[in-house]
């Protein structure tokens, strides 16, 4: 492996390496501190109560050099790891925003060129392919029934049971809150539907620039079970 490749691999694995270094540093600092305390006690013995602090410092300060260095190195690793993760998170969010904008522009051009009917057929086909590739679990299928329709959120590929009326009603509630609070997150939406949050759902959602609008398509899941698949007109970073 050449030097450049080694540097690239080190950069790619920087968070893991820094985390490992921090863990080792914490353990090493604790051990070295205990060792320094033991040496401190042995050096002073019974003299400690009679010596002024200045004299105590002169006798034992060298014992605390190793734990001090280890502690400083550990703090440096933790700070560096935090900075690396912050930069990567910011880069990922920026990439998401760019991709979302590009997709929105692409979708608008497709709609303008092929018309609503053809665009809907394309969306239906994409949704069906998604459901075919990532089918719902048997537990979810067993819950689906009259008034309890199988639904698929295409954004995350997750299944749950609800119905069109509930989804539309919840959409209206979210839009009312957007107008009142200026934004709503995916977590707010998931909370109303009883769906678990995701790692990014607190940071993305909708603003007053453009209200939330669900786009539905009907697909068939396993055993021919009807599945109401839906996506969103747009999602943007709101925090």
- Answer yes or no: are the C-beta atoms of 217 and 230 closer than 8 Å: yes
Side-by-side strand order, sheet with 226-232: 158-162, 149-153, 226-232, 214-220
Q: Please report the pLDDT score of residue 25 as a whole number.
A: 77
Note the pTM of the prediction, 2 decimals: 0.58
pLDDT bracket for residue 114 (50, 70, 90) = confident
Q: Please report the pLDDT score of residue 105 as a whole number.
A: 66
Structure tokens at 147: 């008034």
What residue has token string 């497709």? 110
Q: Please report the pLDDT score of residue 98 as a whole number.
A: 60
Ranges 120-124, 125-129, 140-144: which has the least confidence: 140-144
pLDDT bracket for residue 50 (50, 70, 90) = low
The DSSP result for 53-110, as a single string, is HHHHHHHHGGGGHHHHHHHHHHHHHHHHHHHHHHHHHHHHHHHHHHHHHHHHHHHHHH
5 vs 143: which has the higher pLDDT = 143
- Answer yes or no: are the C-beta atoms of 45 and 93 closer than 8 Å: no
As a whole number of Å, the CA-based R_g of the chain is 29
pLDDT bracket for residue 7 (50, 70, 90) = low
Kind and range of the H or E element at 216? strand 214-220
Q: Please report the pLDDT score of residue 170 as a whole number.
A: 96
């Amino acid at each position: 492996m050449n030097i450049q490749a080694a540097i690239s691999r080190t950069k790619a694995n920087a968070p893991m390496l820094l985390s490992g270094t921090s863990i080792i540093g914490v353990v090493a600092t604790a051990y070295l501190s205990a060792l320094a305390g033991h040496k401190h006690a042995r050096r002073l013995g019974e003299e400690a109560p009679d010596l002024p602090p200045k004299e105590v410092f002169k006798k034992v300060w060298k014992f605390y050099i190793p734990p001090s260095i280890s502690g400083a190195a550990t703090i440096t690793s933790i700070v560096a790891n935090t900075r690396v993760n912050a930069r990567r998170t910011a880069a990922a969010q920026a990439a998401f925003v760019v991709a979302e904008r590009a997709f929105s522009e692409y979708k608008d051009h497709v709609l303008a060129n092929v018309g609503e009917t053809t665009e809907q057929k394309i969306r239906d086909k994409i949704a069906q392919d998604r459901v075919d590739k990532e089918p719902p679990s048997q537990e979810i299928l067993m819950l689906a029934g009259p008034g309890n329709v199988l639904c698929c959120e295409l954004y995350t590929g997750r299944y749950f049971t609800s119905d069109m009326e509930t989804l539309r009603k919840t959409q209206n509630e979210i839009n009312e809150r957007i107008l009142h609070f200026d934004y709503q997150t995916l977590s707010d939406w998931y909370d109303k539907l009883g769906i678990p949050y995701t790692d990014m759902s607190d940071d993305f959602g909708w603003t007053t620039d453009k209200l939330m609008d669900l786009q539905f398509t009907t697909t068939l899941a396993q055993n021919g079970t009807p599945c109401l698949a839906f996506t969103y007109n747009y999602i943007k970073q709101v925090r």
